[in-house]
Chain A
Amino acid sequence: MLSLPQLLWIAMIWAIIIAGAWLLAKYLFNVYTGKRSRLDRFLEPVERTIYRLIGVDPSVQMTGREYFVAVLLFSVFATALCFAILVLQGYLPFNPQHFTGMRWDTALNTAISFSTNTNLQHYAGESTLSYMSQMAAIQFEQFVSAAVGICVAVAVFRGFSGRFKGIGNFYYDFVRSITRVLLPMAVIAALVLVSAGVPQTLGGYVTASTIGGGAQTLAVGPVASLVSIMQLGTNGGGYYGANSANPFQNPTPFTNWLEIALMLILVTSMPFLFGRMVGNAREGRTLLIAAYVIYGINIAIAFAGATTLAAGMETGLGAFSSTFWTVTATSTMTGSANAALSAFNPLVILAALFGMFIQAAPGGIGVGMVYMLLYVVLTVFIVGLMVGRTPEYLGVKILPKDIKNAVIGFVAHPILIMVPLALAFSVGAVSATGVGTGPTGFTQVLYEFTSAAANNGSDFMGVAANTVFFNVSTAVVMWLGRFIGIAVMLVIADSMLHRQRVAQTGLRTDNLVFVAVLVISIIILTVLTFFPVLVLGPILSSLQGLGTI
């Protein structure tokens, strides 16, 4: 149960983040609509050089299909580069610990995991990856997958808005996402993290002779630069196996709450950006409120039990912040952790799963808002008819083809979770990992595929899942989970772009009534889809009194 100070604390954190996100959205709007800026003097020559090097004309408008193909191919090459670095790290520089190359299936899983913004980690970074891999494979993909997410969102916003001449140019959006948004923010965040104690060095691991006698290996490295982009880009894949439960990655309460804020800031600014791009701030605010209401419901579920985290765990961060972090990391598709999931009350796990089933409250960077728009299309269609008009959103009539695309995007999620889940149990892949078949074991495997399909990356199986079956199956799930949703929403946005806009006289979508309708509709659609598996997993655990309820 949340105490009053805790409630006030959450309100304060959210207020700060929402205010910051509102300001940030103003800046983002200028970035993606090409407004002149004082930064142009420094950045334009750099950006022009990049456009020249890759040979694109950034002013050329892409169709939805071209945009998607560019996103997909770029991600393929990023994955390939990452895979190569992971496998070949033994031959590459910046490897003071002389780690050998990664196993092919782990490397495949990792490369796809990071290029899809998932960051499921079937390895412990500090004992597996060289500095080269942590930088040129991991941090590289954390940047580009976050940038791709923003690009897709911006393109989709342009289509829904209809106020732009096209949905944009992927390379233009991508380059600006890196140079004007992610890099500056990540540099500042990284330096603040260093100042608070997060290491950032290329010197090798330190061996200390401890006070009590004996040697201790201190795994340092380029940690802060990774942590800043991993939280900011809702990636979540940590430098260490224990993620932000490792004191080097998250040394103090200050870094703890800063990292929470970093997870939320960009995803919270996306609805504001949407409002600006469609020319009606209220439309953006409505979706933001809906996302935060669901996020709040998840928080409430997580704290519904008498205790949330096993007693005595993570003393330096506390049960409150760990629980809040876990729900936030799963609601934002960051998936980072500052405590072990196995130590939580099943209700926290339930809340985490709920966040990943919905994947839009507020969801991962860029794609969270894209999924929210998918829910909006479905909701407006189902309930909008009840006012006696052809349902429309932002003045655009919703056509059968939109429903077809939205339904494909919506159906893909349960398929990508349930089919491999059943497969994993039936082929004996689960028992091979040593995970049990009781409700806890069931929850762990369910969680694994849910996290993969939602491109979250929070993992309940950890290195136990480093088997060929789980590496390959989750890789497939992550890839499809990422690109099916992106494809259908780009198609919808593209077709809306040039569609006739009518006066908005149907169901209003910019008020609190719509927030309520949207929230209820999202929850009902999610519960209808996932109720049976939730029953077999966390609900059963909770009812059987497993965990700390």
Chain B
Amino acid sequence: MTLSDIVGKPLAMALIALLVCGLAYPLFVTLVAGVAFPFQASGSLVTSGNAVVGSYLVAQNFSEAVFFHPNPSNYSASGIDPTITLADAYSQIPRISNASGLSRSLLYGIVDNATSRTEFLFGTSYVNVVSINMYLIRRYPMVYGRYASG
């Protein structure tokens, strides 16, 4: 076995692999993703005006009574899971209705529209808190107007 077999070839292979897999590949994916899916690629950011107010994928502190509250952070390994169960969402409707003046049946309808299931056809029904709250802000500016600013 020559020195080239022991050092040259494996080291050269590793360097080439680093350039191809460690740089060319992620940069290429970034480039294509940025063109094809700019919204998702940058983090599914929620903007209000010019300001970034969060991400649809990351829970944030909606502590006001007029909003659906996310799970406490210790309900998920990440601490930033933006989803709550359908039952949880339903249980918050009376409070939101009282605070916002929106009718319960209206809120039930909105929640049902925003519900997904973990196995599409069955499984846990859940609601994305950021999405549903942003929907409320945009759909009902009369109630949520003060949250809509930038």
Contact = CB atoms under 8 A, between A and B. Distances in A.
Is A in direct contact with B (CB under 8 Å) within the complex?
yes
Interface of A: 5-6, 9, 50, 53-56, 66, 69-70, 73-74, 76-78, 81, 135-137, 139-140, 142-144, 147, 171, 174, 178, 182-183, 186-187, 190-191, 194-203, 206-212, 214, 216, 218, 220, 222, 224-226, 229, 240, 242-243, 245-248, 251-253, 256-257, 312-321, 337-340, 343
Given A201-B34, A320-B123, 16 more contacts: A69-B6, A135-B23, A140-B18, A140-B22, A194-B40, A208-B51, A208-B53, A210-B61, A218-B54, A222-B26, A222-B29, A248-B55, A312-B71, A312-B85, A315-B76, A316-B81
Given A54-B8, A210-B53, A210-B54, A69 B44 contact: no
B102 interface: no
B16 interface: yes
Contacts of B84: 315
A142 B15 CA distance: 14
Contacts of A203: 42
A59 to B, nearest CB: 15
A415 B128 CA distance: 47
Nearest to B38: A201
Contacts of B40: 194-199
Interface in B1-59: 1, 4-18, 20-23, 25-30, 32-34, 36-37, 40-46, 48, 51-59
B33 A315 contact: no
A218 B45 contact: yes
B79 interface: yes
Contacts of A174: 13
B100 interface: no
Contacts of B18: 78, 81, 136, 140
Given A313-B76, A318-B124, A144 B52 contact: no
B65 to A, nearest CB: 12
Contact of A143 (B17, B71, B124): B17
B32 to A, nearest CB: 6
Contacts of A191: 29, 32-33, 36-37
A74 to B, nearest CB: 4
A140 B33 CA distance: 19
Interface string B61-72: 111100100010
> Among the interface residues B12, B30, B126, which one has the most CB atoms of the partner chain A within 10 A?
B30
Contacts of B1: 66, 69
B30 A225 contact: yes
23 contacts: A55-B4, A69-B6, A73-B10, A74-B14, A135-B22, A137-B22, A191-B29, A194-B36, A197-B57, A201-B34, A208-B51, A208-B54, A208-B60, A211-B60, A216-B58, A220-B42, A242-B76, A242-B78, A316-B128, A317-B118, A319-B124, A338-B77, A340-B76
| Chain B residues touching A, range | 35 or more
> Among the interface residues B17, B21, B46, which one has the most CB atoms of the partner chain A within 10 A?
B21
A214 B63 CA distance: 12
Nearest to A256: B118
A507 B11 CA distance: 45
B8 to A, nearest CB: 6
B118 A320 contact: yes
B117 interface: yes
Contacts of B119: 5-6, 9, 253, 257, 318, 320-321
Nearest to B62: A212
B21 A140 contact: yes
B80 interface: yes
> Among the interface residues B26, B48, B62, B88, which one has the most CB atoms of the partner chain A within 10 A?
B26
B108 interface: no
B28 A187 contact: yes
B43 A218 contact: yes
A467 B132 CA distance: 43
B140 interface: no
A218 B58 CA distance: 8
B51 A74 contact: no
B3 to A, nearest CB: 11
Q: Which 3 A-B pairs have the closest CB atoms?
A: A140-B22, A316-B83, A318-B118
B78 A245 contact: yes
A315 B123 contact: no
B149 to A, nearest CB: 10
A6 B121 CA distance: 11
Contact of A55 (B8, B42, B120, B124): B8
A536 B19 CA distance: 47
A206 B45 contact: yes
Contacts of A53: 12, 16
B117 A253 contact: yes
Contacts of A81: 14-15, 18
A174 B78 CA distance: 36
Contacts of A240: 78
Given A54-B8, A136-B23, A144-B17, A212 B61 contact: yes
A339 B118 CA distance: 14
Given A77-B10, A312-B71, A210 B60 contact: yes
A194 B29 CA distance: 9
Contacts of A220: 42-43
B116 interface: yes
Given A211-B147, A253-B116, A55 B81 contact: no
B45 A201 contact: no
Nearest to A252: B116
Given A135-B26, A216-B54, A201 B43 contact: yes
Contacts of A321: 118-119, 123
Nearest to A77: B14
Contact of A212 (B6, B21, B64, B122): B64
A340 B64 CA distance: 29
B58 A248 contact: yes
Contacts of A195: 36-37, 40
A217 to B, nearest CB: 10
Nearest to A257: B119
Contacts of B63: 212
Nearest to B134: A211
B135 interface: no
